[in-house]
Amino acid sequence: MEEKDRMRIFSKLDEMMGYVGELQGMLPERDEYLQDLISRRACEKTIEVAIESLVDVSAMIVSAEKLGLPTSEEGIFDILVLNKTIPKVW
């Protein structure tokens, strides 16, 4: 993997970890989460962008390592499992 690809991946991972940190800071207690629509939606959106970052990182790895051409987001993870980049956990 080229250094520029590695740096892009690390940058995106830092972004993802930032979202996770934000989520940890904003996550209210269960009752408040269930009753406060604004807090719930903020948490949901933060989880969504963290997951999008994970998908982006995974796609960058597939591309940088020339592992194949996925046809969907799920295909990205299938390729990573087939190439033993990540474990198959089910």
pLDDT one digit per residue (tens) for the chain, 90 residues: 899 999 999 999 999 999 999 999 999 999 999 999 999 999 999 999 999 999 999 999 999 999 999 999 999 999 999 999 999 986
Q: Examine residue 33 and state whether it is found in any structural domain, yes or no.
A: yes
Place of tokens 């209210």: 28
Q: Could you list the residue range(s) of the whole structural domain that residue 23 is in?
A: 3-82
Cβ contacts of 68 within 8 Å, gap of 6 or more: 62, 79
Domain assignment present for residue 40? The answer is yes
* Total number of domains in the chain: 1
Residue 88 lies in a domain: no
Single pTM value for the model: 0.85
89 in a structural domain: no
Establish if 90 belongs to a structural domain. Answer: no
Classified as helix, coil or strand, 12 is helix
Decide: 20 and 50 in contact? Cβ < 8 Å.
yes
Task: Evaluate whether residue 58 is within a structural domain.
Answer: yes
